[in-house]
Amino acid sequence: MLDPGHGGEDPGAIGQKNTYEKNVVLQIAKRIYNLIQKKPYMRVYMTRNKDVFVSLKDRIIKARRKKIDIFISIHTDSAKKKFVKGASVFSISRKEANIVAEKYYSNNYHFIENIIGIKKSNDEYIDHTIFDLIQNFSINESVKFGKQILNSLEKITDLHKKNIGQAGFAVLKAPEIPSILIEIAFISNLQEEKNLNNSIYQQKVAKAIFEGIEKYYLLNKKKYNH
Quote the DSSP letter at residue 42.
Answer: -
CB closer to Zn ion, 12 vs 15: 12
How near is the Cβ of 171 to Zn ion at its closest, in Å?
A: 10
Q: According to the binding rule CB under 5 A, does residue 22 interact with Zn ion?
A: no
CB closer to Zn ion, 15 vs 104: 15
How near is the Cβ of 53 to Zn ion at its closest, in Å?
A: 13
Q: How many residues bind Zn ion (CB under 5 A)?
A: 3
- β-pairing, 71-77 vs 2-4, is parallel
How near is the Cβ of 50 to Zn ion at its closest, in Å?
A: 17
How near is the Cβ of 77 to Zn ion at its closest, in Å?
A: 8
Stretch of residues binding Zn ion (CB under 5 A), selected from 7-15, 93-101, 112-120, 123-131: 7-15
* Contact indicator for 183, 120 with CB cutoff of 8 Å: no
Q: According to the binding rule CB under 5 A, does residue 75 interact with Zn ion?
A: yes
* Contact indicator for 181, 56 with CB cutoff of 8 Å: no
Identified binder of Zn ion from the candidate list 1, 2, 7, 12, rule CB under 5 A: 12
Identified binder of Zn ion from the candidate list 1, 2, 3, 5, rule CB under 5 A: 5
How near is the Cβ of 74 to Zn ion at its closest, in Å?
A: 9
Closest residue to Zn ion in the complex (CB) = 75
Q: According to the binding rule CB under 5 A, does residue 86 interact with Zn ion?
A: no
Q: According to the binding rule CB under 5 A, does residue 175 interact with Zn ion?
A: no
Under the rule (CB under 5 A), what is the footprint of Zn ion? Answer: 5, 12, 75
